[in-house]
Amino acid sequence: MAGLPTLHQRSLLVGAMSAAATHAPDVPIAIGTQAQADYFFGKGSELSRMFKSFFKNNFANEVWGAGVAEPVGATAASGNVVVTQPPTEAGTIHLYIGGQHIPINVGASDTTGQVATAIVDALDRHPDLPVTGVQGAGTSHATATGTAAGVDLTLSAVTGTVAVGDTVSGTGVPAGTYIVSQTSGTIGGAGVYVTNQATTASAAALSFSVPSNQITLTCVWKGIGGNDIHLQTNYYGQLGGEQTPIGLTMTLPTSLSGGTGVPEFDTLIINMGETEFEYVAMPYTDSTSLKAWEDEYGFSDTGRWGWQRQHFGHVFSAKRGIYSDLINFGLTRNSGVMSIMAFENVTPSPMYEAVAAYVAKAQRALTNDPARPLQTLTLEGVLPAALHDRFDFIEINSLAMSGLAIQKVWEGNNVRIAREQTTYQLNSYGYGDDAYELVTTLATLARLLRNQRHAITSKYPRHKLANDGTRFGPGQAIVTPGIIKAELIAQYRMDEFNGLVEDTRNFKRFLLVERDPNNPNRVNVLYPPDLINQLRIFAVLAQFRLQYDRGIDVEIIGASGLTGGAPLPPGAPLTGIS
């Protein structure tokens, strides 16, 4: 055998594409640059942003993308930024949208409307953002007849479309009143709405407008993924040189909201066919999406880890939430092929970018050495939660025990992988089991099985099969169970040399190779590799001393009491004593 096994371990990023996409949905395509991702999936789309995160963390390995169409009937997430007070001094607004910094310079004499215009102009200069911004015109765009009961406002005879954030004006409506939400009725039409303050309108003619000091941010694509886009100002604070200009006040939501619709992955999975994708970044953590990918990459006969296909691979995702919700979520999952990383609920970066970074680092590291742990690898471009909002030691440990991969923030404000946990926790009887709890376990097994497959198929592609002890002539293309066993042991030694396994002696003891009693053309193998492990815990019991010979009177007990030998003559130096 002249050749060595070659591995083609691609990554696949899946996510929503926008209406500006040029590539067919649900069809994987190789992506080599960010420009290609923008062109095929739509600039600023969920999948385009995932590629931006991936390329920050991995510039060397092959990656493909597969965009899913916006769900039928889906809505785009949105949110309103309102400039409530103008600045009294010039300065810079440090706005963060989905973890991306957008600086906006404002002047001391700018009005609230001019500040809003400056914000929209800044957004336009960043066409790769996952949102678009539209400034209110300040003119009426809808009318209705309204009757109020406190903050509840019932509308009828609606002309135009009423939207959350609209300013309300009319008899019985105090200045500064705007729509907070709609609780019933036709969306944007007749129904019950909630206002930010109580009104006394009674069958009053009302008008609705978007004030010029308001910017409506709308997600580039439709679906629940847009709800993960967080907004904030001054992430680094005064120590980082970020401070709101004096006098300026503005309100903005914690994140966009109102996005509805979850993509369907069934067609995409079918279109993947038998192409091997070793590492999949899938940002959705609803039960339907997770089950679809767990089944495709599962251990069943038709799964990618099953005996029929043997494509192997792993699926990665990320989820934000409060500690208790993440614990409860983790306990509902149980798959050795799925790794979901837990993040604090207030993490600025969206989870679709976090999982792309996770996959990028996993592919780069595991392709080089599948048995080496991923701990301490930095997720470049992912902004961590503020210091006081981060998970503590107990929470991180408990999340890992609940089947979630964990991350920590080291010096330099860098998010790093702490443990590449899978969701596998229980065996088929529901008892605790750690067989597949780490990504490295299956990654190492996949490498071993591919090495084994290459060795057998390369050396014995068209061989006949005979019993051990058969006396055949030289040059015959015949193989016996004993020859195959020797080949497997030789391959195991090579794998041991490459740091994938250990204990060849016991491997030889338990390895079984025999002909099938019911099929004379089949060889059965019991293959028992001892996978190499990782250094993850360094435990030390420190039993300190202030002085080892403290309180020992050498003149009384003699030096032999310290050295264990014969007494030293008077005046001799005490050498070798510590």
- pLDDT category at 563 given cuts 50, 70, 90 is low
Average pLDDT score over the chain: 93
175 and 225: one domain? Answer: no
Position 482 in a domain: yes
204 and 224: one domain? Answer: no
Kindly tell me if the per-residue pLDDT of 521 is higher than 80. Answer: yes
- The answer to whether the beta carbons of residues 362 and 426 sit under 8 Å apart is no
Kindly tell me if the per-residue pLDDT of 288 is higher than 80. Answer: yes
230 and 123: one domain? Answer: yes
Predicted pLDDT of residue 326: 98
471 and 526: one domain? Answer: yes
395 and 293: one domain? Answer: yes
Predicted pLDDT of residue 578: 43
For the stretch 119-152, pLDDT in tens is 999 999 999 999 999 999 888 899 999 999 999 9
Segment 384-400 mean pLDDT: 96
Position 188 in a domain: yes
> What does residue 183 show for φ and ψ, rounded to 5 degrees?
-105, -20
148 and 131: one domain? Answer: no
Closest CA to 31 of 402, 360, 284, 270: 360
Higher pLDDT, 410 or 199: 199
- The answer to whether the beta carbons of residues 205 and 170 sit under 8 Å apart is yes
338 and 306: one domain? Answer: yes
Predicted pLDDT of residue 568: 59
Kindly tell me if the per-residue pLDDT of 395 is higher than 60. Answer: yes
Distance CA 27, CA 20 (A): 16
Query: How many CB atoms neighbour CB 39 within 10 A?
Result: 16
If one counts the domains in the chain, the total is: 5
Position 437 in a domain: no
Distance CA 119, CA 81 (A): 10
Segment 281-299 mean pLDDT: 97
For the stretch 238-262, pLDDT in tens is 999 999 999 999 999 999 999 999 9
Position 341 in a domain: yes
Position 203 in a domain: yes
> What does residue 120 show for φ and ψ, rounded to 5 degrees?
-65, -40
Predicted pLDDT of residue 166: 87
Kindly tell me if the per-residue pLDDT of 431 is higher than 90. Answer: yes
Instruction: List CB contacts of 172: < 8 A, sequence separation 6 or more.
Output: 148, 199, 200, 201, 202, 204
Domain hosting 551: range is 540-578
Kindly tell me if the per-residue pLDDT of 557 is higher than 80. Answer: no
- Percent pLDDT > 70 in the chain is 94
State how far the alpha carbon of 508 is from the alpha carbons of 367, 490, 492, in Å. Answer: 27, 10, 9
CATH of residue 93: 3.30.70
> Which two structure tokens, joined as six digits, stand for 354?
């976090």
Position 2 in a domain: no
Predicted pLDDT of residue 567: 60
398 and 516: one domain? Answer: no
Segment 474-490 mean pLDDT: 95
Kindly tell me if the per-residue pLDDT of 577 is higher than 60. Answer: no
- pLDDT category at 558 given cuts 50, 70, 90 is low
308 and 236: one domain? Answer: no
Predicted pLDDT of residue 562: 57
Closest CA to 44 of 130, 124, 126, 125: 130
Full 3-state SS string of 479-537:
ECHHHHHHHHHHHHHHHHHCCCECCHHHHHHHCEEEECCCCCCCEEEECCCCECCCCCC
**Which is it for the CA torsion 415, 416, 418, 421, positive or negative?**
positive
Local structure of 401: helix, strand or coil: helix
- pLDDT category at 552 given cuts 50, 70, 90 is low
DSSP structure string for 345-362: TT-SS-HHHHHHHHHHHH
Position 365 in a domain: yes
- The answer to whether the beta carbons of residues 207 and 140 sit under 8 Å apart is yes
187 and 226: one domain? Answer: no
Distance CA 102, CA 19 (A): 24
Predicted pLDDT of residue 131: 97
Segment 303-325 mean pLDDT: 96
271 and 391: one domain? Answer: yes
Query: How many CB atoms neighbour CB 49 within 10 A?
Result: 29
270 and 372: one domain? Answer: yes
From 365, 386, 419, the end of a domain falls on: 419
Helix (H) or strand (E) holding 459: helix 439-459
Segment 358-376 mean pLDDT: 97
Predicted pLDDT of residue 5: 73
How are the residues of the chain apportioned to helix, strand and coil, as percentages rounded to the nearest 5?
25, 25, 45
Closest CA to 76 of 232, 216, 268, 265: 216
- pLDDT category at 164 given cuts 50, 70, 90 is confident
From 366, 386, 419, the end of a domain falls on: 419
Kindly tell me if the per-residue pLDDT of 370 is higher than 60. Answer: yes
- pLDDT category at 573 given cuts 50, 70, 90 is low
Position 257 in a domain: no
DSSP structure string for 164-224: TT-EEEETT--TT-BEEEEEEESTTSSEEEEEEEEE--SSEEEEEE--TTEEEEEESS-SG
Segment 455-473 mean pLDDT: 94
Local structure of 406: helix, strand or coil: strand
- The answer to whether the beta carbons of residues 302 and 308 sit under 8 Å apart is yes
Query: How many CB atoms neighbour CB 60 within 10 A?
Result: 10
Query: How many CB atoms neighbour CB 217 within 10 A?
Result: 25
